Chains A and B, each alone.
Chain A
Amino acid sequence: AQKITQTQPGMFVQEKEAVTLDCTYDTSDPSYGLFWYKQPSSGEMIFLIYQGSYDQQNATEGRYSLNFQKARKSANLVISASQLGDSAMYFCAMRANNYGQNFVFGPGTRLSVLP
């Protein structure tokens, strides 16, 4: 069975600094996708970044990058130059196989950006 682990229930970061949110995953499927979502206090789910298991390069989207270490089964999210608006809940998620139907989410990490 697939599983996502996020070991940091909460984190603080100073504005303009970089922060890494940890995510480890477990799957026996050779093909899978990894996602990060942001959930601000307003409640909506916002897609941030995607990494495919066969992608050679780490994914980047603006200030977001995904540090993908396949052998360690980790997919950490790095946010550079944190902003106050980055304060939110962050979820790591996995979809097994390319046309996978089953999505598994981690418990989330609450990030607070301090001024």
Chain B
Amino acid sequence: EAQVTQNPRYLITVTGKKLTVTCSQNMNHEYMSWYRQDPGLGLRQIYYSMNVEVTDKGDVPEGYKVSRKEKRNFPLILESPSPNQTSLYFCASRDFQLGYNEQFFGPGTRLTVL
């Protein structure tokens, strides 16, 4: 089954404790992206990757890191989480071929930073 998976789905942590949210897709997509969703703000793009070893900042990259060492994986790293990073996080992927416009989303990771 074609899908984007994220782990963990729920996470409660404390300020300053480094964490990683994993994202993996099995569709051989070149493009992957991370978003955060906050009430009243919709989804905001954190980072995206056009291919292996190619990443770029979205609209809200501060406090986050990413890496793309393999095509299928795109982990999101919070080196020193703060309470304002409490949010619902989505990973997504898409194919660059013309006509393949749909972005496939993972199920989301709900993060709480105390």
Contact = CB atoms under 8 A, between A and B. Distances in A.
B107 A102 contact: no
Contact of B56 (A101, A104, A107): A101
Nearest to A42: B107
B108 A101 contact: no
Interface residues of A, number: 23
Contacts of A52: 101
A6 B41 CA distance: 10
Interface of B: prevailing SS: strand
B42 A47 contact: no
B108 A44 contact: yes
Interface in A3-39: 4, 6, 9, 33, 35
Contacts of A93: 43
Given A35-B101, A47-B103, A50-B101, A104 B59 contact: yes
Given A99-B96, A103-B33, A108 B108 contact: no
A91 interface: yes
Contacts of B45: 102-104
A85 interface: no
Interface string A35-70: 100000001110100101000000000000000000
Interface of A: 4, 6, 9, 33, 35, 43-45, 47, 50, 52, 91, 93, 98-99, 101-108
Interface of B: 31, 33, 35, 40-45, 48, 50, 56, 58-59, 88, 90, 92, 96, 98, 101-105, 107-108
